[in-house]
Structure 1
Amino acid sequence: MTPFEIVQLVLRIALALVFVGMGVLHFVPGPARGMAAMIPPAVRVVPPRALVAFTGVCELAGGIGLLVPATRVAAAICLVVFLVAVFPANAYAAGKTERFGVFATPLVPRAVLQVVLIALCLVCAL
């Protein structure tokens, strides 16, 4: 293995742990309620709890997919799409710490984190 391949492997494992961990939280009652509340009113055409469950499954599948060589690239690309798709909920919750607690990361740090996660997913896809 080249040094870059080792870095990719470590990165894939770390990202898989992050996405699987966050995916699991979508099915824990307290955090799931908080995530449902973060969904902006404009996209509440689907019940918020259903969206939370769906995004939890996406994170679980994406995290596991990063670890499977045959699905690594597709998983990384899907996670990039996922990160873009959920950003409006994070932007909606930004700065509303009194309502959303730890899920209300201020907008600029959250945007930077999203860009970093997207970049890391793309590195995993190489």
Structure 2
Amino acid sequence: MIKLLHVEDDADIREIALMALEMSGEFEVLQCNSGNDALEKVSEFAPDVFLLDMMMPGMTGRETLDQMRKDPALSAVPAIFMTARAQHSEIEELLANGAADVISKPFDPMALSEQIKQAIEKSIQRT
């Protein structure tokens, strides 16, 4: 099982993503509704991959990742961002700063688990 930490402030998107990932049978998912919530739970969960919304109130996905990366045990965990503002320059910046992938919203629930597995594989190949 792939342990995935999903951080998303929109309850509907969390629900759709959870259903899609559970249907694959390959993921153990912990969902958080904010960056602060994720920071409280991430160490105990010890995820294999992060799936982070970019735009959230309080702390963005990028800021959340920066905070989690301070923990040496989490520094190499692949991070995938989801964003509705998938501008080429923003995607390039995220990838240049270590993101394993960027998934545009709205996303295809039927393709989500495969996209995540491919991003993990790319991340492993880069190390």
TM-score, with length taken from structure 1:
0.30
The structure richer in strand per residue is 2
The structure richer in helix per residue is 1
Whose relative contact order is higher, 1 or 2, with alpha carbons under 8 Å and at least 6 apart? Answer: 1
TM-score, with length taken from structure 2:
0.30
